[in-house]
Structure 1
Amino acid sequence: MKTKLLFTFFLLTTLNALAQEFKKPVDYLTYINKEQELISRSTWKYTSAVAHSKSARRIDNTRKQLVKSIQSSKKKITDIKNGYNGDKEYQTQTIQYLDFCEKNINEEYDKIINMQEVAEQSYDAMEAYLMARDLVNKKLDEENEKAILAFNNFAQKYNITVNNQETELSRKIKLSGEVFDYHTALYLLFFKTNITDINLSLAIERKDLGAIQQNGSALLQYAEEGLEKLKLIKPYGNDNSMVLATKKCLEFYKKEAEVYVPKIIDFYMFNEKFENAKKSLENKTNKDKTKEEIDNYNAMVKQVNKEIDNFNKTNTANFQEKNNLLNTWNTTGENFISKYVPAE
């Protein structure tokens, strides 16, 4: 499952004046704040698309619309001549903030998308991707705080009363961040075992006993660690669906490492022993073959056929159970985000 990228920046402010002529400082402040409200709405459309759309094209289109919204508002604010009666400090700070947002959403986003393309190849790559994503969001949050401070400083300077009350839009954006963070925490527990299981499957395909044993041991360790960490994660409100889905996957991987992997190793070791016996017998002439060797080989033929049948049944059952659990986890994750990230 792809993890979600979320950008949040907004001003939690409301003003009473709506005029765009700057006869009073409140008119000037309101004009700039309204432009930032437009950006907040574009931000929300992007967040909502990430949460509710499976179309990569639609998500990227809303990101481009967000960038255009920033560029449009930045131009309007830049076109203000002489700030408010020559006081251009707040105007300059706002433009700097919008420059920062545009640069990060364009340039840093592209870097993160490139990282996302390889993130699912290893746990380290996934962790690096998530850290880079969170760093961008942290920087945006920090710059947003500076923008709010600049807003409040201007208001205080000109004795403007500001109602710093959380708006419905800002509440939605904040809630979305919390939902994505909760999902990511559980996704990492799941992913660490899932990527190890993928490596285990590749080792089984190669019949690499060393790699099978190594990945089997790692899978057991990560599953047990994940189950312990899972005990510390509380339900999201009254919803425990993500925790339960993750727990079932971790319990399966633990069982797979403890029960399935030893069976696979035993089968390959027996098969290797059989192939060696077969090769040894084939390299001998009929007169050099002893009755004991022939009887032993014939018994191994019967045994290997039985082992192959058991191996195929074990593989099929393991695959079906795993596939069902993975589908359930992915569906649960998608439903969780769709349910708690408000729609537009």
Structure 2
Amino acid sequence: MKTTFKTLLAISLFTISFSSFSQSFSNASEYLDFVAEEQEEITKKMWRYTKALAHSKNDRNINSKRKALIKTTEQAIAKIQKADGYDGDEYKNQVLKHMRLNESLLKNEYAEIIDMKSVAEQSYDLMEAYILAQEMADEKMKESQMEYETNFYAFAAKNNINIIESESDLGKKMAISNEVFQHYNKMYLIYFKVYINEVYLMDALNNQDVSAIQQSANALSQSAKEGLEILKTVETYKNDNSIVEATEYAFNFFIDEADNQIPKLVDFLILNEDFETIKTTLEKTPERKRTKEQVDTYNKKVKEINKGVKTYNNTNQSLNSDRQKALNGLNMANEKFLARHIPND
């Protein structure tokens, strides 16, 4: 007679208590239940952790969760090590191998990923390296989970235990999740390659460096136009075009910003430089030696500056509003895309 067993996928993080003696089991189903209870929860939390890593802006909170997971994993490993295996230690060692890989990922790869995340937005190369490291770590975790499940079903079959499969199977969720994030990450890199040029443009504007502003605006315009061409060839995930459309909207904003709006700001900065030169010259000239032409030129520039300030401020306000609209639209599209396609816990 076969025993029916359903994989446990509890939601809350468990606290492990240690006994002073080695735990033993009367049958295979009891042992499988014990192992599943310890292992499945850790792997599920690991999966949640990696997804939080992809989205959360709070690096301190992420690192705190990572350390808590390491402690939980270490305790689970110790408990399984201490307990007797069933019908030898082959399956026990397979489970421990999987759990130790999770522990290693948390202590090493994901620790490095947190460090990479903190500087990723400084350049496209750093962002690309960060996303690649994240995908590689996620892939290792997925492969380990699939191997664990293969061993799990093999042990069950060997001991005539019937496993009830369900849509909530963690290995399937992880495989789907990785596919979704591969598309998401690809789209984000297309966007970020353009966006980083706007970051450089904002820096140049803050420094009022006209030459750097013009160079950055040209780079932004060119990269956004190239980005629009790339978007035409992107293969969507399950015909979901939402991120593509939101990215396209952002690129069109960047093009208008660089080609049409930034020149207005540059014109004012150049005008202001001229004004400061005229003002300095006039101030250095004693009043009795100032010519009518000098005074008239100064007064004319004052009027131009007053008008230019209004144009400059209005242009900045309009840009800030339109930029926020574009970025909010993209962020919303990203969130809804992930909510639609990432399997629920």
Q: TM class, shorter-chain normalised?
A: 0.7 to 0.9
Q: Is the 8 A contact 2:231 2:248 kept in 1?
A: yes
Partners in 1 of 2:68 and 2:286 — Cα distance? 79
Q: Give the TM-score normalised by the residue count of structure 2.
A: 0.76
- Per-residue deviation, 1:51: 8.7
Show CA shifts across 1:102-141 (max 9, x none).
1212333222222222323333332222122122223334
- Per-residue deviation, 1:230: 1.5
Q: 1:161 to 1:290 in 2, by over 3 A?
A: same
Task: Look up the equivalent residue of 1:168 and give its one-letter code.
Answer: S
**2:200 aligned partner:** 199
**1:108 aligned partner:** 109
**2:169 aligned partner:** 169
Show CA shifts across 1:171-220 (max 9, x none).
33332223333222222233333332233122112211122122212212
- Per-residue deviation, 1:159: 9.9
Q: Is the 8 A contact 1:97 1:144 kept in 2?
A: yes
State whether structure 2 residue 277 is matched by structure 1 residue 264.
no
Q: 1:164 to 1:124 in 2, by over 3 A?
A: farther
State whether structure 2 residue 321 is matched by structure 1 residue 320.
yes
Please identify, of 97-106 and 35-44, the stretch whose mean Cα deviation from structure 2 is larger: 35-44
Q: Which runs of 5+ in 1 are unaligned?
A: 1-14
Task: Look up the equivalent residue of 2:213 and give its one-letter code.
Answer: I
- 1:1-344 paired onto structure 2 within 5 Å: 18=5, 21=25, 32=35, 36-43=39-46, 46=49, 66-67=69-70, 70-81=73-84, 84-85=87-88, 88-144=89-145, 147=148, 167-170=167-170, 171-344=172-345
Matched residue pairs, number?
326
Partners in 1 of 2:85 and 2:108 — Cα distance? 31
Q: Give the TM-score normalised by the residue count of structure 1.
A: 0.76
Please identify, of 323-332 and 135-144, the stretch whose mean Cα deviation from structure 2 is larger: 135-144
Show CA shifts across 1:254-283 (max 9, x none).
111111222222221222122212222332
Partners in 2 of 1:140 and 1:37 — Cα distance? 13
Show CA shifts across 1:294-319 (max 9, x none).
33332222222212211111111111
RMSD between aligned residues: 3.8
Q: 1:169 to 1:48 in 2, by over 3 A?
A: farther
Partners in 2 of 1:45 and 1:141 — Cα distance? 13
Q: 1:342 to 1:288 in 2, by over 3 A?
A: same
Q: 1:255 to 1:17 in 2, by over 3 A?
A: same
Q: Is the 8 A contact 1:47 1:176 kept in 2?
A: no
Q: 1:249 to 1:45 in 2, by over 3 A?
A: closer
Partners in 1 of 2:312 and 2:5 — Cα distance? 74
- Higher RCO (CA < 8 A, seq sep 6+): 1
Partners in 1 of 2:41 and 2:303 — Cα distance? 75
SS in 1 for 2:302: helix
Partners in 1 of 2:46 and 2:144 — Cα distance? 15
